[in-house]
């Protein structure tokens, strides 16, 4: 494409929009997983049923005092009622005294 | 990521396991919810393409350590703030049409077609008679966290070539995108569905929307420009680009608006799709759903419903595949395919006294596949329905209706939807041709959502005494 010297000049504005959400820093990390209660949260896809047991076994091997709350407690977090289940998560995690979560599988 | 975000929002540290290639989308999703720098544990490659042994070895060797680090190692990275972004009225580029287009393309602000430069003058002219306050925030985009404003709608409308009279349609579409029931945040999923807008109502023709021949092809200005606007808006405000939220493996090009043939519907006494979805009769509406695949059901032969239903049912069945996981699995009772009938075919049914409900009932009987194929599509072949449960087990658990377990013969034919009314029907296309088109929908990831178009001028815009309504911040 080429421009003619007599072509108008256009002053275009930005097509995007500012962020309406405030950014916050992420939660503090744990000093160790020893003695921590860790919740597994799964979207019931991408072989999480094969991998979360492997993860659990490995974590228990390295941190014998770790406590795991399985994904079945929270159910499918990507199904037809995703919004309702994810909406309940903060209360569910608090009620169960969860210290950290492992969420999967984003593929 | 949304689960991890929920945890982080109450101060519980998270790590998310993502497959290689998904890091960008994961972090963009978190950023859109106001969380920067969330921890990820990335797999090597894609889990579905590995044998079990390969997967377990790789997972133990790499992901476990990454999970532990994600939960225990503090990050040094700071906030990704907006201080570098322009303000709404800032001029981002001045130049010729070529200059503007090159600038926009380089930044991912256009999809590759030439855009009309969104100058302040053009945007003000676009909004001038609408009465809408350009700075009104209609909501926040669930994916990007960016404000959905009347101004940004107008900017992208100018770019797409929309006319001012299209604004009410665009506002209605923005309302759909903001509706949690629609699920706009899924618009970049990997299977790559794209929205289909179905437009109904008495003002469609006056606004220039076309419903006849080539109705799903570019050509009619209103259908094309509004369809293009949706894609541009998803790109620029909802963040669906390949370096942010769009992970479609292939995707689809932007779909033009499908406007139904209201005259035919009136003649045969059928309700428009919008009414089937709950909108009031006679209202101007947009109905939107994300569609995966489509199939032409070509050259439908027959002069009676009984002659044409089997082929139409076959077309619906051929379109349904992995997306049957929206019957049960990823969705639940949310596989609701759309059959678009040309007016001749609709009249064939109506001439025999068939209502839309009659057609749906007949299609429910004919759009069927073997149970073993259904189970393979959502289980063994795609692994999209956890546990690979058989249909008989889902019926026994009360999760599917009994029609899916009339016997336990794997070759028994089962429907592709849970009930007849889940088969949506629209009427459009060349009125002299006997073709139909079947779309499969993406279940809850762009669920059928209908909203009324409000054409009444707004009164939000404050004008000065001299009658001028200059748009200032």
Chain A residues with CB-CB distance to B68 below 8 A: 33, 59, 62
Peptide bond into A105 cis (omega under 30): yes
pLDDT of residue B48: 94
**Residues sharing a CB contact under 8 Å with residue B233, sequence separation 6 or more, in sequence order:** B152, B153, B156, B173, B174, B177
Dihedral in degrees, nearest 10, Cα atoms B10, B13, B19, B24? 70
Provide the domain limits for residue B63: 2-72
Partnered with residue A102 across adjacent β-strands are: A40, B15
Q: Is residue B155 part of a domain?
A: no
ipTM, two decimals, is 0.93
pLDDT of residue B243: 87
Q: Is residue B271 part of a domain?
A: no
Residue A43 has pLDDT above 90, yes or no: yes
Q: Is residue B9 part of a domain?
A: yes
Per-residue pLDDT of chain B (473 residues; tens, 9 = 90+): 999 999 999 999 999 999 999 998 999 999 899 898 899 999 999 999 999 999 999 999 999 999 999 999 998 655 556 668 999 999 999 999 999 999 999 999 999 999 999 999 999 999 998 999 999 999 999 999 999 999 999 999 999 999 999 999 999 999 999 999 999 999 999 999 999 999 999 999 999 999 999 999 999 999 999 999 999 999 999 999 988 999 999 999 899 999 999 999 999 999 999 999 999 999 999 999 999 999 999 999 999 999 999 999 999 999 999 999 999 999 999 999 999 999 999 999 999 999 999 999 999 999 999 999 999 999 999 999 878 889 999 999 999 999 999 999 999 999 999 999 999 999 999 999 999 999 999 999 999 999 999 999 888 776 555 445 555 55
Quick check: B100 contacting A, CB < 8 Å?
yes
CA distance A1 to chain B (A): 7
pLDDT of residue B411: 98
Quick check: B444 contacting A, CB < 8 Å?
yes
CA distance A84 to chain B (A): 11
**Residues sharing a CB contact under 8 Å with residue B21, sequence separation 6 or more, in sequence order:** B46, B247
Tens of pLDDT, residue by residue over A77-106, are 998 889 899 999 999 999 999 999 999 999
Where does the pLDDT of residue A3 fall: very low under 50, low under 70, confident under 90, or very high at 90 and above?
low
- Centroid of chain to Cα B192: 10
CB pairs under 8 A between A and B: 284
pLDDT of residue B457: 86
pLDDT of residue B461: 72
Chain A residues 21-80 within an 8 A CB cutoff of chain B:
21-33, 36, 38-39, 41, 43-51, 54-55, 58-59, 62, 74, 76-80
CA distance B400 to chain A (A): 14
Q: Is residue B404 part of a domain?
A: no
pLDDT of residue A22: 86
Quick check: A6 contacting B, CB < 8 Å?
no
pLDDT of residue B160: 98
Q: Is residue B65 part of a domain?
A: yes
Q: How many independent structural domains does chain B possess?
A: 1
Q: Is residue B88 part of a domain?
A: no
Helices B221-236, B167-178: inter-axial angle, 10-degree rounding? 40
């Amino acid at each position: 494409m080429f421009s003619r010297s007599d072509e108008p000049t256009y002053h275009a504005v930005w097509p995007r929009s500012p962020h309406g959400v405030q950014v916050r820093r992420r939660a503090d990390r744990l000093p160790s997983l020893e003695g921590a209660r860790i919740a597994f949260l799964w979207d019931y896809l991408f072989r999480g049923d094969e991998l979360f047991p492997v993860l659990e076994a490995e974590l228990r091997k390295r941190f014998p005092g770790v406590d795991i709350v399985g994904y079945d407690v929270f159910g499918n977090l990507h199904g037809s009622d995703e919004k309702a289940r994810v909406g309940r998560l903060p209360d569910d995690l608090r009620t169960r005294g969860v210290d950290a979560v492992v969420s999967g599988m984003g593929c | 990521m949304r689960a991890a975000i929920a945890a982080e929002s109450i101060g519980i540290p998270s790590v998310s396991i993502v497959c290689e290639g998904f890091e960008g989308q994961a972090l963009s999703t978190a950023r859109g919810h106001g969380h920067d720098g969330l921890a990820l544990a990335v797999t090597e490659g894609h889990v579905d393409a590995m044998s079990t042994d390969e997967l377990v070895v790789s997972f133990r060797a790499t992901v476990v350590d990454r999970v532990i680090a994600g939960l225990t190692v503090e990050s040094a990275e700071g906030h990704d703030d907006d201080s570098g972004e322009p303000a709404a009225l800032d001029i981002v580029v001045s130049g010729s049409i070529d200059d503007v287009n090159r600038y926009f393309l380089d930044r991912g602000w256009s999809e590759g077609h030439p855009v009309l430069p969104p100058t302040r003058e053009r945007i003000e002219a676009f909004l001038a008679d609408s009465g809408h306050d350009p700075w009104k925030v209609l909501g926040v985009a669930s994916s990007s966290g960016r404000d959905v404003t009347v101004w940004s709608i107008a900017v992208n409308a100018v770019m797409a070539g929309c006319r001012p009279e299209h604004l009410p349609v665009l506002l209605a579409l923005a309302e759909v995108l903001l509706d949690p029931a629609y699920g706009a945040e899924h618009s970049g999923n990997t299977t790559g569905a794209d929205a289909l807008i179905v437009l109904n109502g008495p003002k469609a023709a006056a606004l220039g929307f076309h419903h006849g021949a080539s109705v799903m092809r570019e050509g009619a200005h209103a259908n094309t420009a509004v369809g293009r606007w949706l894609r541009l808006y998803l790109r620029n405000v909802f963040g669906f680009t390949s370096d942010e939220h769009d992970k479609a493996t292939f995707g689809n090009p932007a779909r033009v608006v499908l406007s139904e043939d209201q005259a035919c519907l009136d003649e045969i006494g059928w309700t428009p799709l919008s009414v089937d979805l709950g909108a009031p009769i006679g209202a101007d509406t947009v109905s939107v759903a994300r569609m995966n695949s489509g199939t032409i059901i070509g050259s439908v032969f027959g002069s009676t419903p009984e002659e044409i239903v089997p082929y139409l049912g076959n077309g619906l069945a051929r379109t349904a595949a992995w997306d049957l996981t929206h019957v049960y699995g990823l969705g639940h009772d949310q596989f609701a395919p759309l059959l678009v009938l040309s007016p001749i075919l609709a009249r064939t049914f109506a001439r025999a006294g068939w209502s839309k409900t009659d057609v749906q009932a007949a299609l429910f009987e004919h759009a069927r596949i073997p149970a073993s194929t259904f189970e393979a599509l959502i289980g063994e072949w795609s692994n999209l329905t956890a546990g690979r449960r058989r249909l008989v087990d889902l019926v026994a658990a009360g999760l599917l209706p009994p029609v899916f377990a009339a016997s336990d013969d794997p070759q028994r034919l089962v429907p592709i939807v849970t009930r007849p009314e889940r088969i949506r029907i629209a009427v459009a296309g060349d009125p002299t041709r006997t073709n139909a088109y079947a779309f499969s929908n993406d279940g809850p990831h762009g669920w059928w959502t209908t909203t009324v178009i409000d054409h009444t001028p707004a009164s939000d815009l404050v004008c000065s005494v001299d009658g001028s309504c200059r748009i200032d911040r």
